[in-house]
Structure 1
Amino acid sequence: MIATEIETYQDQHAAFQTGSSPDWLVALRQRGLDAFTRLGLPTRKLEDWRFTNVSSLTKTAYDAGTNGLTAGDTASSEAIAEASDLLQQASLDEDYHRLVFINGRYNEKLSQIHDVNSGVVIDTLANALSNRPGEVQQQLESELDFNDSAFAALNTAFVGDGAIIDVPEGVTLDRPVHLVFLSTGSGRTLSNPRNLIRIGKGGKANVIESFMGHGDSYFTNAITQVTLADSAELDHHKLQHEQVGALHISTTGVDQKASSRFRSHYFSFGASIARNELDCLLDGENIETTLNGLYMPTGDQLMDCRTRIDHAMPHCNSYELYKGILDDKAKGVFNGKIFVREDAQKTDAKQSNQALLLSDDAVVNTKPQLEIYADDVRCTHGATIGELEEDALYYLRARGVPADLARQILIFAFANDVVQGVELPAVRRHLESVLLDGHDLSEDIL
C-alpha cells in the first residue's frame, strides 16, 4: 500500500467520523483503520493471495466516505434513475421483501418491505445505529476478526450501513428477503456494506444478495455476518453481477449452533477481480452445512473463491460443490479448506471442485485442503479440470443443433446440478436465463 493511498483513506476517515456516533462505534472504526494502515493491501507474497493480484487498487483513489450520501433517501435524481434501470435487471420477484442500497446507502424509494411476522426485524444498519445502537454493538464488535484481513479492516473503518435481518425463535420468515446493492455514477466509489443476519432457535429464512453497477470504476467491499441459533435454518444466495471493470471483495462469516442448517448458493459472473470468502464455524453437534458455488469468468476476469469450514464439534456434516466455467484468458482460483478439530469425532465432510475450460488460454488454480485432528471421521475432497467433450458436441450437431446452442447446452448441463440446488423458483429461473443467454431449449431444439 503506497503512502499516498493510506493518507487518502485517513483523510476520508477523519471526515467520516465527524458524525454523531456512539463512542464505541467511533473506537471500532478507528481500530479498523489502524488495522488497515498496519496491514496494507495484501500482496502475492502471501499464500492466500498468491494467485490474486490486487495491486491495481494502489493506482486508484476511491471515495471510501459517504459518497455524497447520508442514511435515508438522499441519493440524487440521476443516481436513482440509474439505480432504477439496474433494479429492473436485478429484480427477481415482487413478492419478496426488497432493500435497495445505492453506493452503500439505503434508498427507501426503490425498496419495499411487506408486512412481517411478529417479532421479525428487517431494517438498515444506519437506522439501528441512529436509534438503537446497543442492539448491534455486540455483533459488530465481537463476531468478526479483522486484525489479519485488510479488506475486513477497511470495511470496519467505514462501517455505517447495510441490512439487518433478525428472525426470532420459532418463526419462519414469510417470504425471502432480497438485498440489492447498486453502484452508480461516474466517480470511483468504494462501498462498504455490512449485513447482520440472526436467526433464532428453530427459525427459518431465505436471503438473497445481488450486486450490480453502472460504469467500471467502482469497488464493492462487502461483509455479511450470520448467526444461527440451535435448530435454525438459513438459505443464503449471492448473485454477483458487477460490471466487468469493477472490483468486488466480499466476506461472509457464519456461526452455527447445534442442529442448525446453513445452505450457501454463490454465483459469480461479473467484476474484473472478484474474491468471495466464506468462513463457517460449526459450533455445536448435528449441524449441516452445504456450500454450492458457480463462477464463470470470461475475457481477462479473475474470480477467486475461498471457503473454510471449521468442524469444532462432533456429529456434523458438510457438503461442498464449487464449479468453474472459464473462457478466453480468464483466471479462476478455488481454495477450500475443511478443518476438523480434535473433539469433532463422527464428522462427515465432502468437498469437490470441478472446472471446465472453454479456451486454451484460460487458467484455474485449485487447492482443496483437509486438516484433520480427529480419528473417527469420514472426509473426502477432490478437484477435476477438463474441456467440453468433442463427442458430445458432435452428437448434438448431428441432430441439427446449431454449434453455439450445442455449446450452451453442454455448459448448462455442467452447471445444472449447482443451479438445481437453488429452491427459490425466481432465483433458479434467473440463473438458467444467464446460463442459456436467453435461449429456451425446448423451443430452440424443437
Structure 2
Amino acid sequence: MSTLTKQDAFSSLIDAAPSTFAAARSAAKEAYASQGLPAVKAEEYKFTNISKKLEQSLIDFAVAQPVSITAEQVKAALYEGFEGDVLVFSNGQYLPELSSKIEGIEVSLLSAKTDLPLGSIANPAKDPFAALNQASFQDGVFISVPKKTQVEKPILLLSFDQANAGQVIQPRVWIEAGDFAEVTFIDQTVSLGDAVYFVNEVVEVKGGINSQIRYYRLQNEGKSALEVSTIETDIQKDARFTSVNISLSGDMVRNNLNLNLRGSNSEGNMYGIYLLNGKSHVDNHTNVDHTIPHAESNELYKGILADQSRGVFNGKIFVRQDAQKTNAFQQNNNILLSEDATVNTKPQLEIWADDVKCSHGCTVGQLDEEALFYLQARGIDKTQAKGLLLHAFAGEVLEKIETESFRDYCDALIQARLGSKF
C-alpha cells in the first residue's frame, strides 16, 4: 500500500490532464491506481524511498507551467564548443519558437500526433511513475529521424527548470529513428532555482533496422530537486543504442533505463558515472531484455561517493529461452571517499538459454593507497593525486561519449569536482 494512500495529491494532476491521448491516459490512470506510489517495502524501490520524500517535500503537487526563457539564456547555456541543433524546453514543455528548425528531421508537439502508440514502449503497467507521467503529462515532443538519414551533428535537448516549491515537471519525449538512420542526442538541464520540485520524465525510443542512436544525459539538477527518469527503448535488427548517463547533483534521483533488444545482431550499450557528495542519493535501475538470438549488451556503471551520499545500482539482464548466442556483460564499480558514504549494488542475471556468454560483477572499495603514494613520491600533493586517480577511474565511462566537445565539457566538470585540474 502506498504511503500517500490517505491523500494522494497526484490524483489532482491526473484529473486535470488534457484530453489528448484519451485511451493511453485512461490505461495509465488504471495502472497508477492499481500500483500507487512505491511502498516502503517495495522490492524495486527497496533502497530509494522516494514516496516518503515526495510526501515530506511537495506542497501543492501543482503542474509547473513554462517560464519565460530568452534567446540570450539559451545561447549562454550552450557549453563551450557545442555545434549542432537545439530543442528548448521550459519546465518540461517544448518551446518551438526558441528551437532550431532541423533540416530533414520532423519535430512537433506530441499533441499533434494523436495516433502515436504512446506507452507501447514505456509500459505504464511496469512502473507507477511511468503510469503517472502518461496519465497526467501536459504535452511533449515528437522527434522522427527518417529512414537512411545521417544526422552528423548532435541534437541538444536543453531543458530549463524553474519550478516553485512542491510543483511537478513531467517531460514526455518520443524519439524514433528509421531504418539505417543515425543520430546523437544530448540531454541537459539547467536549474534556475533551488526550490524542492519533482521531475518525472519519460522518454520512449524506437530504433529501426540498422539504426544507430546515441543518447547522452548530463544530470545536474538543483541540489533540492527530486527526480525520476524513465528511458525505455525498442531496438530492432542490426541496430545499436548507446546510453551514457552522468549524474552530478540532486537530492534524490532515480534513473530507470530499459533496453528491449527486438532483433538479431542488435546491440545495447549502457554506461554511467555518478559523482556524489553531501546527502545526494542516486539510484540507477537498469534492465536489458534479450528476446532474440545473436544480440549483445554491454553495461558499465561507476560511482564515486563522498560525505553522506548514497548510490544504488540494480542491473538486471534477462536472456529469454529463444535468445541463444547472446553476449551480455555487466559491471558496477564504486569508490567510497567517506566512511559515511553508502552503496547498495545488485547486478543480476536471469538466463533461460544455454548457449550464451554472460558475466556480471561489482566492486566497492577505496582509493589504491600504493598508487596514491607513488604519485605523492613524485611531487604531486595528496589532493591532486586523489583527483588524478579518481579522474582515471571515471575516464573509462567518459570515453564512451563519441561527441568530443561534450566529452570535454563533462570531463571538465568532473575534474573541477575532483580537484584534479592543475
> TM-score scaled by structure 2?
0.92
Secondary structure in structure 2 of the residue aligned to 1:2: coil
Task: Give 5+ residue unaligned stretches, structure 2.
Answer: none
Correspondence 1:75-94 to 2 at 5 A: 75-76=67-68, 80=69, 88-89=76-77, 91=79, 93-94=81-82
Shift of 1:362: 1.0
Residue in structure 1 matched with residue 48 of structure 2 by the alignment:
52
Residue in structure 2 matched with residue 357 of structure 1 by the alignment:
336
Residue in structure 1 matched with residue 25 of structure 2 by the alignment:
29
On the 8 A contact 1:104/1:193 being kept in 2, the answer is yes
Task: Give the AA of the match of 2:172.
Answer: R
What is the aligned-residue RMSD (CA, Å)? 2.3
Secondary structure in structure 1 of the residue aligned to 2:249: coil
Shift of 1:293: 0.7
Compared with structure 1, are the counterparts of its residues 4 and 317 closer, same or farther at alpha carbon in structure 2 (3 Å cutoff)?
same
Correspondence 1:338-357 to 2 at 5 A: 338-357=317-336
Shift of 1:244: 1.3
Residues in 2 aligned to 1:360 and 1:85: alpha-carbon distance in whole angstroms: 41
After TM superposition, the structure 1 stretch with the greater mean CA deviation from structure 2, 237-246 or 160-169, is: 160-169
Residue in structure 2 matched with residue 210 of structure 1 by the alignment:
188
Correspondence 1:18-417 to 2 at 5 A: 21-22=19-20, 25-54=21-50, 55-61=52-58, 66-69=63-66, 75-76=67-68, 80=69, 88-89=76-77, 91=79, 93-108=81-96, 111-117=98-104, 120-125=105-110, 129=111, 131-134=112-115, 136=116, 138=117, 140-213=118-191, 214-417=193-396
Residues in 1 aligned to 2:113 and 2:27: alpha-carbon distance in whole angstroms: 22
On the 8 A contact 1:103/1:189 being kept in 2, the answer is no
Task: Give the AA of the match of 1:434.
Answer: L
On the 8 A contact 1:116/1:173 being kept in 2, the answer is no
On the 8 A contact 1:13/1:65 being kept in 2, the answer is no
After TM superposition, the structure 1 stretch with the greater mean CA deviation from structure 2, 429-438 or 56-65, is: 56-65
Shift of 1:268: 0.6
1:100-126 superposed Cα distances (whole Å, 9 cap, x missing partner): 2111112345x3314413xx212332x
Task: Give the AA of the match of 1:248.
Answer: E
Shift of 1:36: 2.3
Task: Give the AA of the match of 2:355.
Answer: D
Residues in 1 aligned to 2:163 and 2:12: alpha-carbon distance in whole angstroms: 22
On the 8 A contact 1:98/1:180 being kept in 2, the answer is yes
Residues in 2 aligned to 1:183 and 1:403: alpha-carbon distance in whole angstroms: 38
On the 8 A contact 2:387/2:419 being kept in 1, the answer is no
On the 8 A contact 2:63/2:167 being kept in 1, the answer is no
On the 8 A contact 2:64/2:164 being kept in 1, the answer is no
On the 8 A contact 1:268/1:296 being kept in 2, the answer is yes
The count of residues paired between Structure 1 and Structure 2 equals 418
Secondary structure in structure 2 of the residue aligned to 1:178: strand
Residue in structure 2 matched with residue 72 of structure 1 by the alignment:
none
On the 8 A contact 1:408/1:435 being kept in 2, the answer is no
Task: Give 5+ residue unaligned stretches, structure 1.
Answer: 70-74
Residues in 2 aligned to 1:381 and 1:292: alpha-carbon distance in whole angstroms: 14
4+ runs deviating over 6 angstroms: 438-441
Shift of 1:285: 0.5
Residue in structure 2 matched with residue 13 of structure 1 by the alignment:
14
Compared with structure 1, are the counterparts of its residues 332 and 439 closer, same or farther at alpha carbon in structure 2 (3 Å cutoff)?
closer
1:334-370 superposed Cα distances (whole Å, 9 cap, x missing partner): 1111111111111111111100111111111111111
On the 8 A contact 2:327/2:357 being kept in 1, the answer is yes
Residues in 2 aligned to 1:265 and 1:330: alpha-carbon distance in whole angstroms: 21
Task: Give the AA of the match of 2:91.
Answer: N
Shift of 1:141: 4.3
Secondary structure in structure 1 of the residue aligned to 2:405: helix
Structure having the larger proportion of residues in helix = 1
Whether 2:1 is the aligned partner of 1:2: answer no
Compared with structure 1, are the counterparts of its residues 146 and 439 closer, same or farther at alpha carbon in structure 2 (3 Å cutoff)?
closer
Secondary structure in structure 1 of the residue aligned to 2:95: strand
On the 8 A contact 1:16/1:65 being kept in 2, the answer is no
After TM superposition, the structure 1 stretch with the greater mean CA deviation from structure 2, 293-302 or 92-101, is: 92-101
Shift of 1:398: 2.3
After TM superposition, the structure 1 stretch with the greater mean CA deviation from structure 2, 395-404 or 50-59, is: 395-404
Shift of 1:86: 8.3
1:225-268 superposed Cα distances (whole Å, 9 cap, x missing partner): 01111111101111100111111111111101110011111111
On the 8 A contact 2:200/2:227 being kept in 1, the answer is yes
Aligned residues with identical type, % of pairs: 34
On the 8 A contact 2:216/2:244 being kept in 1, the answer is yes
Secondary structure in structure 1 of the residue aligned to 2:179: coil
Residues in 1 aligned to 2:251 and 2:313: alpha-carbon distance in whole angstroms: 16
Residues in 2 aligned to 1:405 and 1:102: alpha-carbon distance in whole angstroms: 38
